[in-house]
Structure 1
Amino acid sequence: MTSRGRFADVVFGRKQLIVLIAFVAALSGIGVGLSAQKAVWEGWVIDRLFQLRTVLRPAQAKTPAPVVVVGLDQVSLDSEKLAVLPRVLMTPFFAKAGQGVIDAGALVAGFDFVFAYSADDFQFPGSGEASLRGLDVPFKRFLLQNRGKVFIAHTEIGVPHRSFSAVAGAGGVRSVLVVTDSDGIVRRHAPDAPLVDSPDMIDAVLAKLGSDISEGYVAIPTSRLATSTPYLSLVDVLTMLETEEGKEALKDFVGGRAVLFGSMLPYEDEHLYSDRFLPHLPAKEAMTGPSGRPRVQPQTAGVLILADIVGAAVSGRVAKAPPRGVLPAVAILFAVAGSLAGLFLPLMVLPAVALSGIVAGLGVSLAGLEFGVLFAPGVAPVACVSAMVVSAVGKVGILQRKQRSLVRLFSHYLAPDVIRQMAQSEQLPELGGDTRHVVVGFIDIAGFTKMSESLADREVVRVVNSCFDAIGQVITAHQGYIDKYIGDAIMAVWNAPNTVDDPERAAVDSACEIVRLLDRMRDKTGQPALDLRVALHAGHVLVGDIGGEYRRSFTVMGTTVNTASRIEAVAKENRVRLAFSKPIADKLPESYPKKAIWTGLLRGLSKDTTVFTLDTAEMKMERIAPAAREKHTGKSGGLRKRSV
């Protein structure tokens, strides 16, 4: 193992890397999950949870709704009582209806209308006649007599006429503005405590109904408001007040409740509300007057939203934010679960696990609604999935790192290209192989047998390993592949299994550099008699796996290998450090000082072979000391064993 590999394993060992990835994945999941609060899609999920809750929640006894809506609808405008007057002149009818519901037992009456115009100020053009003066007197008297129980509206751009504001009193004019979420849909309300002093009409009505709610909440509707909110048309109230029987029916309708007056006309004061996915309440179950209800619109009338926000708080149909720290704890739990799943479960099952995490996260939010707690529905699923994605990516990195480590480790035993090919195909190559043109080389430690007789076994191993390490680095640097170690020799191949553009020149250059390492190897091993012989031959060989089902080896086979081995004997006889065949000599440039040293029939071959060397001083073994030359002569027995 290289020093670089050891450093990487120490700093980023597999266990440490897994812990680091799990930590980073969990941290990422927590951060991304918590950032999903109030995302633009969160409201849509909340509304779907309300829908699912309605489907799953068993039928329960209906409790009387605390708020009744009296609507100015098209039926009222078309009735004989109201058709003769424009809407701005209907204050006498509002006064009569408002006083009627108060007398019938309503605890509070709120008007979701901005009475910005007073008939007392109207004068006919030209004549200046103020024939409408006094028309608003009944409504002003009604406001004055019921101060503290009746509220009129103002909006961001509309305020009541000063005469109405004066008789309504300081607390009689309240805001009917509603707050939308980031997706433009009304869902929540933040009370302004104390409620009696709040500028909002919702809070004023809540106070009159005895509510002491002070925390922000989300109203949980159970059906479309347009089909379920107790409703009377304005003309129905006026008609009921004309008979004793009608007055009794009105008492049953509004007694002990709040009454909100507002417009039910299409496209007038409408908002998107979280009831839009909910089922319609059957008409027979809804509290409705004789004139029925306006048809359900895509959006919800503002007065119905005000009524539901008030009614939800009074009847407990609200969900509040979880206590501080609970939501981060949920994010941590799901992020850790996601990160562990991504690391330790098979990649193929992660989509199903991610879906399970999403369902579980939404299940937590759905269960929280039953306890009046609204967990931001995006936090848990996003924390789980994002942590799982990060850890899965890290796991892929670990697998790739493991693959690289295996390639690096097993490259000491097998060609890295072969290992990478097996890793990519995930199967063993077929036995046999392909025929390729290669250069085969035998690098032999000359005189090794004689030298090893005087050395201890451990010292022999040290000398051999030191030489093989230096020689192997040179072979690899010149794109060679070490096929095998044969005792004190190395069999190397150029152009298999990798591809080398000029294998003959690469092999000779490698041999020259190995020879130049002799002095350094002698100093390092402490063996002055150490010498080398390199034999090279080029030709076609069979490259591939040999062996069986349970054990195999990658190698090269053929006459070329045997010829290279025989050429080593020629090198020994001619006392040269490098010997190579004519096919190699023919491929070398003219600048290489090639010299033929032998021509003849090598053992086992049928044709003559010409052997060359480089005509340089360093290639002649005579350069070594006489004592070392004597030791080299004892190596012939090992050579014959290999060349037979």
Structure 2
Amino acid sequence: MTSAGQPADTAFGRKQLVFLIALVAIAASIALGFSAKKAIWEGWVIDRLFQARTMLTDAGENNPAPVAVVGLDQASLDSERLSPIPRVLMTPVLAEAGQAILDAGAVALGFDFVFAYSADSFADPSTGEARLSGFDRPFQAFVYRNRGRIFIAHTEIGVPHRSFSAAIGEGGVRSVIVSTDIDGVVRQHTPETPLNDSDHLIDALLGVAGSDVSEAYTAIPTSRLATSLPYFSLIDVLTLKQNEEGRQQLKEFANGRIVLLGGLLPFEDEHLYSDRFLPATADDNAETGPGGRPRVQPQTAGVFILADLIGSALSGRTAIAPPAGVLSVIAALFAVIGAVVGLFLPLVVLPVAAVLGTLAGLFLSLVGLELGILLSPGVAPVSCVGAMVISAVGKVIVLQRRQRSLVRLFGHYLAPDVIKHMARSEQLPELGGDTRHVVVAFIDIVGFTKMSEKLADQDVVRVVNACFDAIGQSITKHQGYIDKYIGDAIMAVWNAPNTVENPEKAAVDAAHEIINLLDHIRQITDQQELDLRIALNAGPVLVGDIGGEHRRSFTVMGTTVNTASRIESVAKDKKVRLAISQSVADGLPKSYPLSEIWTGQLRGLSTDLSVYTLDVAEIYMESAPKDAERQSGQESSNLVEFPR
């Protein structure tokens, strides 16, 4: 119903409100979806998508890996040859190993070591003598000979000693700093072009390998890096280079590859990487040197991460951002689906729909990974679920509030299924109403005045309420609407405010049932003299809210109502319990036993009117005339039978 306190209801019909709620839900959920982009939890979802991709597609690399790692691990430090040498004095060993790797056919060599200290600068504190002068010369000569193929590292706080920087030349020192997402996990790299001029070690090695990568990419790992990347210990390289068979093994390991050398001691230069949920590669499938591999740590060694960021770009295991507008279209599509689901599906199924929408969004992200596109996995699910929730809340607050208003208004007057139908359709009459064809009934308790003279006031109320309750149940059962109680009478309407397919038949059936309840009513009220009189008329009436903005009621008005009230006098004069007008009689099935009881002009009307009744025994307050019995020729069983 409309009122000053419900501006949305007065301004919009149901379709307009549905459209408005859907529009708000879609717009808000798209904004929510994009707020999920780069959210702290989105990275976790991306890593789980990598895990699902590996499980579903057997995503392991079939081609030889383009990058290999040589590690200064615990096995190397514990070896007989290296255990006496401090780590800061290993430049000659690294030069020897590096040259062996290049001789084996490596494309380029990257050292994930800063080399911040030079042994040449060491002086004996007691004598000042340069005891280690020339110690680093083999490494300096090595990097000088291989300028352009060898790169050493610098970090935010560590730079190589000037002697190494001078030996390797301009562009030989590159950054090994990796960027992390908001959750502290390394997943992507943004190259600086041209690659050969970039400050980053990854870009320099990609440039040497001839890569043309130019935009930010996310590496897609397929297993734990510590178990899958081609790997030799430093001591393996030093040992294998001593004989021809070993050199052949080194060639198989390094030829045509970029090789990175770095430290692999536990808890040293480790980061969280997107391989953290992936399965380990079986030992038989991993390319490993004689010394084996270091154990897998919860975090991933920095040299492995550098190797994978380079290798993924060279082998195409990357995902880039989608073209402009694609993510917006996806967010809008999922928001529309969510809004439709939230508005038109029952609330009880929305949790299941939300799960399905989330899975659909994640599946779309998986498909994107296969196509090399990283669709932000939070956008589609959040847009879908957000729209679902917002539209469902709008439905409950706005649309169902209108439905509850109808239920409150008509709940005591109409059958439950009729109320549900009205609530779904929300056919709310406007103030002033509209014209509809209805059947109007006046149902009067006969003998009420005499009864009220003999009974106490409380007993009168009890009797009237009992009568009205029994009569009201029959009215609502037959889709009628109780318009009002008028003293000891009821005014009822069929085909307003709800729609009734055959209001004439429904009204007569209800009247017949009410009359058959007379004995029951007398019994429950203990008033044997009580009787009923019903008058029915059909025709056009004004239907709707009658009154002002602050107080109103739903009712029907017009000549049809007044005529129905006048017909009751005919029923009284002819001593029948039911009197129906010609317009009602014309709408009844031919099987109904009608008998004309009066023709003439009713008070206040200018035309003649015929009045009928049902020619069955229970309709007559006194014994039915003989001719009426002959005229009917059938029992009341021709009508629908009602319980007595």
TM range (shorter): 0.5 to 0.7
1:135-284 aligned within 5 A: 135-284=135-284
SS at match of 2:232: strand
What's the offset of the Cα at 1:327?
Answer: 0.4
Whether the 8 Å contact between 1:545 and 1:552 is mirrored in structure 2 is no
Partner Cα distance (1:300, 1:6) in 2: 61
Do the aligned partners of residues 6 and 352 (structure 1) sit closer, same or farther apart at CA in structure 2, a change above 3 Å counting? closer
**Structure 1 pair 109–3 and aligned structure 2 pair: CA distance change class (3 A):** closer
Q: TM-score, normalised by structure 1?
A: 0.67
Corresponding residue of 1:550: 477
**Structure 2 match to 1:54:** 54
- Kept in 1: contact 2:107–2:209 (CA 8 A): yes
Q: State the Cα distance separating 1:400 from its structure 2 match.
A: 2.5
Q: Does residue 65 in structure 1 map to residue 65 in structure 2?
A: yes
Range with bigger deviation, 34-43 or 399-408: 399-408
Give the drift of 1:401. Answer: 2.8
Q: Which whole-Å CA distance do the structure 2 matches of 1:261 and 1:407 have between them?
A: 77
Match in the other structure for 2:553: none
Write the distance in 1 (CA, Å) between the matches of 2:199 and 2:217: 18
Q: C-alpha separation between the residues in 1 aligned to 2:106 and 2:75? A: 24
> Equivalent residue for 1:432?
none
Instruction: Find the residue that maps to 2:70 and give its secondary structure.
Output: strand
Change beyond 3 A, Cα 1:410–1:378:
same
Q: Which residue of 1 aligns with 2:355?
A: 355
CA distance in 1, matches of 2:6, 2:180: 59
Against the structure 1 CA distance between its residues 215 and 544, is the aligned structure 2 distance closer, same or farther, given a 3 Å change threshold? same
SS at 1:337 equivalent: helix
Q: Does the 8 A contact of 1:72 with 1:233 survive in 2?
A: yes
Post-superposition offset of 1:309: 0.3
Provide the aligned length of Structure 1 versus Structure 2.
468
In the other structure, the counterpart of 1:381 is 381
Q: Secondary structure at the match of 1:272?
A: strand
1:553 Cα offset (Å): 8.5
Distance 1:554 1:406, change over 3 A: closer
Give the RMSD, CA atoms, in angstroms: 3.6
Any idea what SS the aligned residue of 1:275 has? coil
CA distance in 2 between counterparts of 1:100 and 1:550 reads 98
Match of 1:43 in 2: 43
Per-residue displacement from partner, 1:49-106 (whole Å, max 9, x unpaired)? 1111111114677211111101000010011111111100000001111111111111
Structure 2 residue identity aligned to 1:139: F
Question: Are residues 148 and 314 of structure 1, via their aligned partners in 2, closer, same or farther at CA, if it must alter by over 3 Å?
Answer: same
Which ranges of structure 2 fall in alignment gaps of 5 or more residues? Answer: 424-431, 433-440, 449-456, 490-528, 531-568, 576-620, 622-644
Q: 2:112 — aligned with what? A: 112
Equivalent residue of 1:204, what SS?
Answer: helix
Q: Aligned-pair distance for 1:257?
A: 0.6
Contact 1:111 1:261 (C-alpha < 8 Å) held by counterparts: yes
Secondary structure of 2:349's aligned partner: helix
> Matches of 1:378 and 1:216 in 2, distance apart?
19
Where do residues 166-565 of structure 1 align in structure 2 (5 Å cutoff)?
Answer: 166-407=166-407, 410=410, 414=412, 542=466, 544-546=469-471, 547-548=473-474, 550-551=477-478
Distance 1:538 1:344, change over 3 A: closer
TM-aligned CA deviation for residue 286 of structure 1: 0.9
| Contact 1:545/1:554 (<8 A) preserved | no
Give the partner amino acid of 1:171: G
**Sequence identity of aligned pairs in percent?**
60
* SS of match in other structure, 2:273: coil
1:276 Cα shift? 0.9
Q: Could you tell me how far 1:44 is from its partner in structure 2?
A: 0.6
Q: Cα deviation per residue 1:491-517 (whole Å; 9 max; x = unaligned)?
A: 9xxxxxxxxxxxx9xxxxxxxxxxxxx
Counterpart in 1 of 2:29? 29
Letter in 1 for 2:286: A
Residue 7 of structure 1: how far off its partner (Å): 7.0
Unaligned runs of 5+ in 1: 427-464, 466-483, 492-503, 505-535, 563-603, 606-636
Segments of 4+ moved more than 2 angstroms: 1-10, 58-61, 397-405, 407-411, 484-487, 536-555
Partners of 2:247 and 2:257 lie apart in 1 by 15
In 1, Cα distance between the equivalents of 2:461 and 2:307? 96
Q: Please say which structure displays the higher CA radius of gyration.
A: 1
CA gap 1:395/1:545 in 2 versus in 1, 3 angstroms:
farther
CA distance in 2 between counterparts of 1:36 and 1:2 reads 40
Q: 1:91 to 1:307 in 2, by over 3 A?
A: same
* Distance of 1:85 and 1:392 partners within structure 2: 71
1:18 matches 2:18: yes
Q: For the residues of structure 2 that align with 1:272 and 1:399, how far apart are their CA atoms?
A: 49
Deviation at 1:551, TM superposition (A): 3.8
CA distance in 2, matches of 1:59, 1:313: 16
Measured in 2, the distance between the counterparts of 1:83 and 1:545 equals 104
Does structure 1 retain, via aligned residues, the 8 Å contact 2:176–2:200? yes
Is the contact made by 1:70 and 1:259 (CA closer than 8 Å) also made in structure 2? yes
Q: Bigger shift: 52-61 or 195-204?
A: 52-61
Question: Which has the larger displacement, 18-27 or 343-352?
Answer: 343-352
Q: Take 1:328 and 1:48, find their aligned partners in 2: how far apart are those partners?
A: 23
AA matched with 1:550: K
Shift in alpha-carbon separation, 1:280–1:561, aligned structure 2, 3 A: same
Q: 1:402 Cα deviation (Å)? A: 3.2
Q: TM-score, normalised by structure 2?
A: 0.67
How far apart are residue 252 of structure 1 and its match?
A: 1.2
CA gap 1:128/1:12 in 2 versus in 1, 3 angstroms:
same
Q: Secondary structure at the match of 2:341?
A: helix
Distance 2:69 2:118 in 1: 25
State the one-letter code of the partner of 1:135.
F
Distance 1:342 1:554 in 2: 33
CA contact (8 A) 1:114 1:153 kept: yes
Task: Find the aligned partners of 2:256 and 2:192 in 1 and give their Cα distance.
Answer: 24
Partner residue in 2 for 1:517: none
